[in-house]
Chains A and B, each alone.
Chain A
Amino acid sequence: MNVMIDTGNYVAAKAAVMAKPDVVAAYPITPQTTLVEGIARYVATGEFKGEYICVESEHSAMCACIGASAAGSRTFTATSSHGLLLMHEMLHWAALARLPVVMCNINRVIGPGWNIWSDQNDSISQRDTGWIQFYCSSNQEIFDTVLQSFKLGEHKKVGLPVMINYDAFILSHTSMPVYVPEQRDVDDFLPSFKPLWKLDVDNPITFGNIIGPAYYEKVRRAMQDAQENAKTFITEIAKEWKNKFGRYHGDFVERYKCEGAEYILMSMGAIGAESKVAIDNLRAEGLKIGLARVRTFRPFPAEEMLKLGKQADLIVIDRNISIGSEGALFNETKAALYNKSDAKVYGFIAGLGGKDVTYQDIEKICKKVINGKAKDFEWYGFEGD
Chain B
Amino acid sequence: MVKQKILNGTVLRGIKNMTIKDLPDIECVIPGSAACPGCPATIGLRVVFKALGKNTIMVVPACCTAVIESLYPNTSFDIPVMNIAFEGAAAGASGVEAALRKQGKTDTTVVAWAGDGGTYDIGIQALSGALERQTNFIYICYNNQIYSNTGIQRSGATPYAAWTTTTVKGKTEFRKEMGDIIMAHHIPYSAQACISYPEDLYNKVKKAKSIKGSKYIEILAPCPPGWRFSMDKTVEMGKLAVETGAWALYECENDVVTFNGKSKLILEKKIEPKPIEEWIKQQGRFRHLFKPERDEKRIKEIQEHTNQVWERYRKCYLGKQ
- List residues of chain B with CB within 8 A of the CB of A203: 80
Does B116 lie at the interface of the complex (its beta carbon under 8 Å from any beta carbon of A)?
no
Does B321 lie at the interface of the complex (its beta carbon under 8 Å from any beta carbon of A)?
no
Distance (whole angstroms) from the CB of A137 to the closest CB of chain B: 32
Does A365 lie at the interface of the complex (its beta carbon under 8 Å from any beta carbon of B)?
no
B contact residues, range: 35 or more
Q: When each residue 47-75 of chain A gets 1 if its CB lies under 8 Å from chain B and 0 otherwise, what string results?
A: 00011011111011101111111111101
Give the size of the chain A interface in residues (CB under 8 angstroms): 42
Distance (whole angstroms) from the CB of B27 to the closest CB of chain A: 13
Q: Is the interface of A mostly helix, strand, loop or mixed?
A: mixed
Distance (whole angstroms) from the CB of A306 to the closest CB of chain B: 38
- List residues of chain A with CB within 8 A of the CB of B80: 199-201, 203-207
Q: When each residue 69-112 of chain A gets 1 if its CB lies under 8 Å from chain B and 0 otherwise, what string results?
A: 11111010000000000000110010000000000000000000
Q: Beyond A207-B83, A211-B72, is A63–B66 a contact (Cβ under 8 Å)?
A: no
Does B57 lie at the interface of the complex (its beta carbon under 8 Å from any beta carbon of A)?
yes
- List residues of chain A with CB within 8 A of the CB of B172: none
Q: Beyond A23-B99, A63-B91, is A209–B83 a contact (Cβ under 8 Å)?
A: yes
Asked if residues B125 and A209 are in contact (CB atoms below 8 Å), the reply is: no
Does B258 lie at the interface of the complex (its beta carbon under 8 Å from any beta carbon of A)?
no
Distance (whole angstroms) from the CB of B133 to the closest CB of chain A: 7
- List residues of chain A with CB within 8 A of the CB of B94: 25, 53, 55, 60, 63-64, 67
Asked if residues B98 and A25 are in contact (CB atoms below 8 Å), the reply is: yes
Q: Kindly identify, within residues 68 to 99 of chain B, every residue whose CB is under 8 Å from any CB belonging to chain A.
A: 69-73, 75, 77-85, 87-88, 90-99
Asked if residues B75 and A90 are in contact (CB atoms below 8 Å), the reply is: no
Name the contact of B91 in the complex, choosing from A55, A73, A200 (C-beta under 8 A).
A55
Name the contact of B95 in the complex, choosing from A59, A65, A89 (C-beta under 8 A).
A65
Q: Kindly identify, within residues 22 to 47 of chain B, every residue whose CB is under 8 Å from any CB belonging to chain A.
A: none
Does B106 lie at the interface of the complex (its beta carbon under 8 Å from any beta carbon of A)?
no
Name the contact of B81 in the complex, choosing from A56, A66, A206 (C-beta under 8 A).
A206
Asked if residues A210 and B69 are in contact (CB atoms below 8 Å), the reply is: yes
Q: Beyond A209-B75, A212-B71, is A199–B82 a contact (Cβ under 8 Å)?
A: yes
Q: Kindly identify, within residues 203 to 229 of chain A, every residue whose CB is under 8 Å from any CB belonging to chain B.
A: 203-212, 215
Asked if residues A90 and B88 are in contact (CB atoms below 8 Å), the reply is: yes
Does B128 lie at the interface of the complex (its beta carbon under 8 Å from any beta carbon of A)?
yes
Asked if residues A201 and B56 are in contact (CB atoms below 8 Å), the reply is: yes
Asked if residues A55 and B98 are in contact (CB atoms below 8 Å), the reply is: no
Taking beta carbons and an 8 Å cutoff, which residues of B are in contact with A? 54-57, 59, 66-67, 69-73, 75, 77-85, 87-88, 90-103, 108, 125-126, 128-129, 132-133
State the 9 A-B residue pairs at the shortest beta-carbon distance, nearest first: A67-B95, A56-B129, A208-B83, A63-B88, A64-B95, A206-B75, A60-B91, A63-B91, A71-B99
A-B contact pairs, 24 of them (CB 8 A): A25-B94, A25-B95, A51-B102, A56-B132, A59-B91, A60-B90, A60-B91, A60-B94, A60-B125, A64-B98, A66-B95, A68-B95, A70-B95, A71-B99, A72-B99, A72-B103, A75-B95, A93-B85, A199-B80, A203-B80, A208-B83, A209-B67, A209-B69, A211-B72
